[in-house]
Structure 1
Amino acid sequence: MNTETADPAELATLREIFATRPGAAPPAGWAAVRSFEAEHGIVLPEPYRTFVAEVCDGLPAGPPYYGLLPLAQTPPDWGSGRPERLLAEPFPLTAAWLWEAEDDGAELSVEEFDALTDPVFDHGSLLLGTDGCGMYWHLVVTGPQRGHVWQIAGEGAMPFGPDSPDAVMPGTPGFTGWAAQWAAGRSWFPDA
């Protein structure tokens, strides 16, 4: 996965997926992309960067279920009381973390729990959209997972597309692999 240079084959795949979708928003353009990057102190990973600038900046009919968000937007159910999104701060995870399944014998206060999980939701990623019920898809823009797509929900966080036999959401990593999985009508979870 090359996050620095747009692969023409990946862009062709993305154009094919999104070109015929009803309601696809026009591209944001390079000026808007560069402005967003300057405002947040980041460079978006490829091929998403070129996709938003040249192909499409949002799609109401997915992916994900409630649509692909335009650059810099959050879904309506994101909430107004959330911490500030800090895209330049590194995304804190490199492996799935299902905090709901953890039992360390000690109950955390709401404040302690939020201090642990808020960076997962708000650091180093932008929101691609939601599948509802608090399940959000993020594209990591900063840190070791840059370019990977993660599903983050109240129960935990997991990457899409790790190349391992025990992966919860196997597939081709990155934005193009994630979009292609959706376009092919394949489930995110193989046992679903």
Structure 2
Amino acid sequence: MSVAACITGTMNTEQADPADLASIREAFGVDDGGGSALGRAAVRAFEAEHGVVLPEPYRTFVAEVTDGSPAGPPHYGLVGLAELPDDWGDGRPVRDLARPFPLTSAWLWEDDPRPGEDIEPILEQVFDHGSIVLGTDGCGMYWHLVVTGPHRGHIWLVTGEGATPFGAEFGFTTGKPGFAGWVEHWAADKDWFDAE
């Protein structure tokens, strides 16, 4: 991906960049010949079941590299494609990956002046529509990969207080957008929100 593409926020979510895949493989250090990966057939079955096509390079990552990693990112590990973090909770609404993720800019609902009954339906969508949960940093901080909607391919941090997109163009971090940028930022041992 070119520097201009990173700055404008455009990502190729349809074809995996070999350089991105190489940096992701290096970051995770998986050397089992793809034995911990799902394989293309399982990824296609997941996509068909949920009515989505996973964005690249995540799609190739789970198909060919590994389906989750206890080492991270995030802090408590990268969960498998069809999994949720242990602290996700029971009794939550059924997640609908085919319905679009509703946000395109950061939202701090904790400070939203609208009444709770007005924002509650949007909150449910933020947590449960159009994204897969990659894992948790604990304390209700979940990293999501958007799979449907205008922010498809972007990573979001969704917490009990608000939601923030990951990527330098959003002003919170120096990392490039998308799964590859998120992994590279973690592998470089940088703070998630390191923008000055």
Question: Which residue of the partner structure matches residue 72 of structure 1?
Answer: 82
Question: Which residue of the partner structure matches residue 130 of structure 1?
Answer: 136
Q: What stretches of structure 2 of length at least 5 have no aligned partner?
A: 1-10
**2:150 counterpart of 1:150:** no
What amino acid is the match of 1:90? P
Cα shift readout 1:67-122 (whole Å, capped 9, x = no counterpart): 00011100111111111100000100000001112234xx425xx54323010000
8 Å CA contact 2:30–2:66 kept in 1: the answer is no
Q: Does the residue aligned with 1:181 lie in a helix, a strand or coil? A: helix
> What is the alpha-carbon distance in structure 1 between the residues aligned to residue 121 and residue 75 of structure 2?
29
> What is the alpha-carbon distance in structure 2 between the residues aligned to residue 78 and residue 171 of structure 1?
26
Cα shift readout 1:150-175 (whole Å, capped 9, x = no counterpart): 000000000000425xx123420000
Q: 1:186 aligns with which of 176, 187, 190?
A: 190
TM-score by length of 1: 0.90
> What is the alpha-carbon distance in structure 2 between the residues aligned to residue 190 and residue 25 of structure 1?
35
Question: Which residue of the partner structure matches residue 97 of structure 1?
Answer: 107
Question: Which residue of the partner structure matches residue 174 of structure 1?
Answer: 178
Matched length: 185
What amino acid is the match of 1:184? A
The farther-off stretch of 7-16 and 119-128 is: 7-16
Provide closer, same or farther for how the CA distance between residues 56 and 173 of structure 1 changes in structure 2, counting only shifts above 3 A.
same
Return structure 1 stretches of 4+ with deviation > 6 angstroms: none
Q: Does the residue aligned with 2:79 lie in a helix, a strand or coil? A: coil
TM-score by length of 2: 0.88
Question: Which residue of the partner structure matches residue 166 of structure 2?
Answer: 160
Cα shift readout 1:3-44 (whole Å, capped 9, x = no counterpart): 0011111111111111258xx971111111011000001000
8 Å CA contact 2:146–2:152 kept in 1: the answer is yes
